[in-house]
Each structure stands twice: as structure tokens, then as C-alpha cells.
Amino acid sequence: MYVKICGLSTPETIEAGLQSGANWIGFVFFPKSPRHVEYGKAKELVGPVRGKASIVALTVNASDDELDAIDQSINPDIWQLHGAETPERVVHIKQRYGRPVMKALTIRDEIDLAAIPAYEDVCDILLFDAKPPKDSKTELPGGNGISFDWRLIKGLKLKKPFVLAGGLDPSNVAEAIRLTRPQGVDVSSGIENAPGVKDRQKIIDFVYAAKQAAEML
Ligand SMILES: O=C(O)c1ccccc1NCC(=O)[C@H](O)[C@H](O)COP(=O)(O)O
């Protein structure tokens, strides 16, 4: 079970993630997000992560110039594409940087699963997240702390590993894992005290709960 802690922005919370055994540490490069980190700060933050966990760079419809800047500042291990990137764009990014791409697909209804085949042929990892709430004014395509109906992906036969995201927290991640059997889980809001403010203990509790649940499968 790969556990991704997303949207970290302080050395203390990164240390909590590493000590608790998180596999992926995610940095958000999206200025509209309360979790956004500037390139210079990200460069300082990734030092302790390298070699201990994979560094995930999360972007939303980023241009090549933006990806180049992130590449130069933190040399990420994995790209997480969380916008409306097309399958062709995924192929381009994989070829340009030669590293794995995790493509987020947002789900609300069964119809949303129709996008999967085109992406699972080209990405390395799928990430299933909830769509932003209807009628909400949020400009964030992720990190909204809401879940989708996990039953929609139960038993799905996929060609690629998948990560479950959306509204997970230390109290529900075990049930989510039991029901959907993902290869990884991802959390942001559920380990925060306020948008963008991560809580050390919640990080530790989340990673522990996820790893324990995986052992029980
Ligand atoms: O976290 C953000 O602020 C964010 C902004 C823009 C695009 C994606 C974003 N987060 C993506 C993630 O990987 C989150 O961890 C995932 O959406 C789950 O978030 P949450 O429901 O808050 O746990």
C-alpha cells in the first residue's frame, strides 16, 4: 500500500510523513491552492525527502515552461497531473521528462468511469478523486475533502495501479481500502486543521491506519 501525503509545506510535517512511513510526499504547484509552494521553497523542502520517499509534483494544466521550472527546482520522481490534461498531453510529458505520470480522474457518477480506458493506456498510475462539489465556487480540482461513492470503482478491472483519493482521513481510510482495494491512498484535507495547515499527529494516524488496513486484506 502506497500512502501519499499531499500538499505539504513545512519541514515539520514532512518529517512526520517520512517518520510514519509515507511513500509519496506531494507538493502542490497551483497558485490558487492554499497548499501551493513557490519553486524556491519547494527546493528547500525536498532535501530531506529525496531517497526516503518519492517526491510527487502536483500540477494543473501546467505548460512545458512551468513543468521545466518545477523540474529544475525539485527534480520530482513522479508527475501528478490533476487538471484536464489529455491522453496526448500525458504521453508528451512522459516522453519529455522520462518519469512516471500519475493522472487524476475525477468521479461523481458511473459515466465518469468512461474516461479511464484512454488514460490507463498512457499513464503509469491512475488516481481517482472526487469532483468538486456541484454549485461550489471552488477553483480547486482537488483537495476539497469530499469523497465520491467508493462503490463505483469496487471490483473495477484496470490495466494500471490506482490510488484512491478524496475525503479520506484517519477514521475512514481503512474502510475505503477494504472496499476498493487500491494500490495506494492519497490524503490532503483529512490531515489538516485548516486549509493548507497540516497536523503532525493526523499524518501519523493516517499512515498507520492505511498500512494496518492493507495488512489485513
Ligand atoms: O490539494 C490541493 O490544494 C489541490 C489543488 C489543485 C489540484 C489538486 C489538489 N490536490 C490533489 C490531491 O492529490 C489531493 O490529495 C486529493 O485531491 C485529495 O484531497 P482531499 O480530498 O482534500 O484529501
Can you give the pLDDT at residue 133?
A: 85
Can you give the pLDDT at residue 181?
A: 97
CA atoms in the 13 A half-sphere facing the CB of 143: 31
pLDDT (average), residues 116-130: 98
Res. 135 pLDDT band, cuts 50 70 90? confident
Residue whose cell numbers read 521550472: 69
Q: What's 90's DSSP letter?
A: H
**Cα separations in angstroms, 22 against 18, 95, 97, 148, 204:** 6, 28, 24, 23, 9
pLDDT over 90, % of the chain:
97
In the residue annotation, 65 being an active-site residue is answered as no
pLDDT per residue as tens digits for the range 54-72: 999 999 999 999 999 999 9
Can you give the pLDDT at residue 139?
A: 84
Ligand 1 atom nearest the C-alpha of 4 is: 15
CATH annotation of 2-215: 3.20.20.70
Pick from 105, 83, 101: nearest CA to 30: 83
Q: Is the ipTM of this complex over 0.90?
A: yes
> In this structure, are residues 50 and 18 in contact, taking their beta carbons and an 8 Å threshold?
no
Residue whose cell numbers read 519553486: 39
Give nearest CA residue, ligand 1 atom 14: 143
Ligand 1 atom nearest the C-alpha of 127 is: 13
pLDDT value at 104 more than 80: yes
Q: What's 77's DSSP letter?
A: S
In the residue annotation, 123 being an active-site residue is answered as no
Distance (Å, whole) CA 111 – CA 136: 21
Within a 10 A sphere around the Cβ of 200, how many other Cβ atoms? 16
Distance (Å, whole) CA 151 – CA 180: 7
131, 188, 199: residue to mutate for ligand 1 pocket, most atoms within 8 A of CB: 188
Catalytic residue, from 71, 77, 124, 135: name it. 135
Can you give the pLDDT at residue 134?
A: 82
Q: How far is the CA of 91 from the centre of ligand 1 (A)?
A: 23
